[in-house]
Structure 1
């Protein structure tokens, strides 16, 4: 008899690419995952995976069975969610990924009250600034900051996210206050490197304009970029959710130039073709209410002064 535990183990191994990673995601031992895989293959009468010392790949039968297995698991998940909704409860596992700084400063504090009200939800939240693949990395959803341009994802906007050009008062005293885009060419820049670019893009009536200032330092973390700006190393283009407190305290100053950075958002996304569970929809609704739009961390004109 085919057991759902075996199907779940097979799908998780196929998506993660290894028994070790599948065991971590399922919070089981490697031996249990391997045993469930072997039992499933015995029930089906054939191998689903090619096993070598370096990697696992799907057999022809495995490729065909994976598509059926995904639909089986999705239908079970939908069924569980529907029953939970009828009972007025939210329960079960939920795996999400979010950026490090946003997760620490805003997402965690927003989620803790929600989880306290819904103690049957088993949340696993991975904080990582790299661009994860929501499908192959096994996430139910990802939360990200940036432009929304991935057509493979179903996306819900949680709130807008303004980015601000900031520098320390000491830096601006030494190098002067930029007034127009062209002035930035002569300034030192603190660039975010996780997107693979070392430039800034601004909106103009004629389209996007790229500004390449002199790189002072490149970093892959927003907290450290803010700290580098506080140390007077250069100008940084950072979200208000990171630099808002420093601006309000007068430690960083907003640089108002003639054009605005390209529009970005805080958004949640999951793979196209999968239905959002009741608990995921509840998380989305809760975060939208908690963050607001414009969000509570935004910097007002009074704060800029």
Structure 2
């Protein structure tokens, strides 16, 4: 008889690409994962995975079975979720991904409170600034700041956020405070490498774009903030990274009379995984936790007047 834990292991191995990574994701010993996978292959009478010294790949039978295996697990999870709803409780696994900086600064505390309110949920959170493939990597949902590039996903808005130009007081004392786009373009900049180096602004006559010289490029917003605190240059950063430093005066907001282009915070999930009760409750929890406008923008000055 085919066992559900064998199906779970097979899907984890297929999505992770290795037995060791699958074992890490589902919290089992590597030997247990190997044993359950071997048992499933014996029950099915088919080789699902081809193992070599360098990599692991699905066989033709493995590819054929994978879709069915995912359907089995999804239906079991949905059935369990429906029973939990009937009992007035939520339970079971929930796996999400999010950006590193935002996860450290804000997401962690919101999720800790969520788990305290729903102790039956087993949450896995992977923080990664790369744009993960939600379905292929086995996530229920992904949290992103900015546009969702994958049009196969269903995106649910959490809140709008602002980007602000910031610098350390020491940098501005040494180099002057830019008062226009032309002056800003001559400044030393700290750029985020996962976006292009353009700084976009919203003007009455449309978007305005400048390309300041990069003093530093880095793929993490918290490292960018620390570089700005050290006086390396000016950065355009989401308000959720800098609100506390602006409040205590360690960073200064630069106002050139035109507002940096904003962004929105989303949670997205594959259309073939309709939002489960757990995910629906999580989405509403995050919306209430962050607020709209979000709590980290409570002390920010009013938006700059737009100039053409």
Q: Same fold (TM over 0.5)?
A: yes
Q: Equivalents in 2 of 1:295, 1:109: separation in Å?
A: 14
Contact 1:144-1:268 within 8 A present in 2 as well: yes
Partner residue of 1:237?
236
User: Aligned ranges for residues 157-236 of structure 1 at < 5 Å?
Assistant: 157-195=157-195, 197-205=196-204, 207-236=206-235
TM-score by length of 2: 0.92
Partner residue of 1:83?
83
Partner residue of 1:254?
253
Partner residue of 2:70?
70
Note closer, same or farther for the CA distance 1:212–1:34 as it changes in structure 2 (3 Å cut).
same
Q: Deviations for 1:75-125, whole angstroms, at most 9, x for unmatched residues?
A: 111111111111111111112222222222211222222211211111122
Contact 1:190-1:218 within 8 A present in 2 as well: yes
User: What is the deviation of 1:41?
Assistant: 1.4
Note closer, same or farther for the CA distance 1:65–1:302 as it changes in structure 2 (3 Å cut).
closer
- Structure 1 regions of 5+ residues with no counterpart? none
Q: Equivalents in 2 of 1:250, 1:156: separation in Å?
A: 35
Contact 1:229-1:236 within 8 A present in 2 as well: yes
Contact 1:93-1:123 within 8 A present in 2 as well: yes
2:295 is paired with a residue of what secondary structure? coil
Q: 1:274 aligned to 2:266?
A: no
Contact 1:171-1:233 within 8 A present in 2 as well: yes
Contact 2:259-2:303 within 8 A present in 1 as well: no
Contact 1:180-1:257 within 8 A present in 2 as well: yes
Q: Equivalents in 1 of 2:207, 2:14: separation in Å?
A: 41
Contact 1:129-1:221 within 8 A present in 2 as well: yes
Partner residue of 2:301?
301
Contact 1:204-1:259 within 8 A present in 2 as well: yes
User: Aligned ranges for residues 39-188 of structure 1 at < 5 Å?
Assistant: 39-188=39-188
Note closer, same or farther for the CA distance 1:146–1:44 as it changes in structure 2 (3 Å cut).
same
Note closer, same or farther for the CA distance 1:207–1:16 as it changes in structure 2 (3 Å cut).
farther
Q: Deviations for 1:172-200, whole angstroms, at most 9, x for unmatched residues?
A: 233222233222221100111233x3332
1:190 is paired with a residue of what secondary structure? strand
Q: Equivalents in 2 of 1:262, 1:214: separation in Å?
A: 19
Q: 1:286 aligned to 2:291?
A: no
Note closer, same or farther for the CA distance 1:206–1:70 as it changes in structure 2 (3 Å cut).
farther
TM-score by length of 1: 0.93
Q: How many residues align?
A: 303
Partner residue of 2:11?
11
Note closer, same or farther for the CA distance 1:206–1:49 as it changes in structure 2 (3 Å cut).
farther
2:250 is paired with a residue of what secondary structure? coil
Q: Equivalents in 2 of 1:148, 1:21: separation in Å?
A: 26
User: What is the deviation of 1:205?
Assistant: 5.0
Q: Equivalents in 2 of 1:184, 1:227: separation in Å?
A: 20
1:166 is paired with a residue of what secondary structure? strand
User: What is the deviation of 1:287?
Assistant: 0.8
User: What is the deviation of 1:228?
Assistant: 1.6
Contact 1:18-1:55 within 8 A present in 2 as well: yes
Q: Deviations for 1:16-73, whole angstroms, at most 9, x for unmatched residues?
A: 1111111111111112111111111122221112221111222222111111111111
Q: Equivalents in 1 of 2:142, 2:80: separation in Å?
A: 22
